[in-house]
Structure 1
Amino acid sequence: MARTGRRPGPTSTRESIVAAAAECFAAQGFDATSMRGVAAAAGVDSALVRRFFGSKEQLFTEVATALIVPERALAAVAAGAPDAAGARLVRYFLSLLGDVSQPGPFFGLIRSAVDSEHAAALLRRLLADRVLGELATSFRSENAELGAALAASQLVGLAVARYAVRLDALTAAGTEDLIPWVAPVVQSYLTGTRIS
Structure 2
Amino acid sequence: MNGTPASDGPAASPDGAGAPRRRGRPPAAESAGTRDRILDAAREEFSARGYEKTSVRGIAKAAGVDSALVHHYFGTKERVFEAAVEVAFGPVIDEREPVLEGPLDEVGERMTRMIIGLWENPVTRTPLLAIVRSAVDNETAAAVFRRLVAGQLLTRITGRLDLPDAELRAELAAAQLVGIAMIRHVIRVEPLASADPEDIVRRVAPVVQGHLTGP
Alignment TM-score, normalising by the size of structure 2:
0.79
Instruction: Using the TM superposition, give the Cα deviation of residue 8 of structure 1 relative to its aligned residue in structure 2, in angstroms.
Output: 3.7
Structure having the higher Rg: 2
Q: How do residues 28-177 of structure 1 correspond to structure 2 at under 5 angstroms?
A: 28-69=49-90, 70-78=93-101, 80-98=102-120, 103-177=125-199
Instruction: Using the TM superposition, give the Cα deviation of residue 120 of structure 1 relative to its aligned residue in structure 2, in angstroms.
Output: 1.0
Distance 1:117 1:8, change over 3 A: closer
- Structure 1 contact 17–39 (Cα < 8 Å) conserved: yes
CA distance in 1, matches of 2:108, 2:84: 26
Q: Which letter maps to 2:117?
A: S
Instruction: Using the TM superposition, give the Cα deviation of residue 23 of structure 1 relative to its aligned residue in structure 2, in angstroms.
Output: 0.9
- Structure 1 contact 17–42 (Cα < 8 Å) conserved: yes
Gaps of 5+ in 1: none
Instruction: Using the TM superposition, give the Cα deviation of residue 131 of structure 1 relative to its aligned residue in structure 2, in angstroms.
Output: 0.8
CA distance in 1, matches of 2:84, 2:119: 14
Instruction: Using the TM superposition, give the Cα deviation of residue 74 of structure 1 relative to its aligned residue in structure 2, in angstroms.
Output: 2.2
2:4 match? none
2:7 match? none
- Structure 1 contact 35–49 (Cα < 8 Å) conserved: yes
CA distance in 2, matches of 1:42, 1:128: 31
Q: Mean Cα displacement is larger for which, 178-187 or 128-137?
A: 128-137
**Percent identity among equivalent residues?**
40
Equivalent pairs, count? 190
CA distance in 2, matches of 1:25, 1:75: 30
Mapped pair 1:182 → 2:182: no
Q: Which letter maps to 2:113?
A: R
Q: Which letter maps to 1:66?
A: V
RMSD: 2.1
Q: Which letter maps to 2:158?
A: A
Distance 1:31 1:161, change over 3 A: same
CA distance in 2, matches of 1:152, 1:166: 19
Distance 1:73 1:165, change over 3 A: same
- Structure 1 contact 97–105 (Cα < 8 Å) conserved: no
Instruction: Using the TM superposition, give the Cα deviation of residue 107 of structure 1 relative to its aligned residue in structure 2, in angstroms.
Output: 1.6
CA distance in 2, matches of 1:39, 1:133: 36
CA distance in 2, matches of 1:8, 1:61: 23
Following TM superposition, where does structure 1 have runs of at least 4 consecutive aligned residues deviating by more than 3 angstroms? 1-10
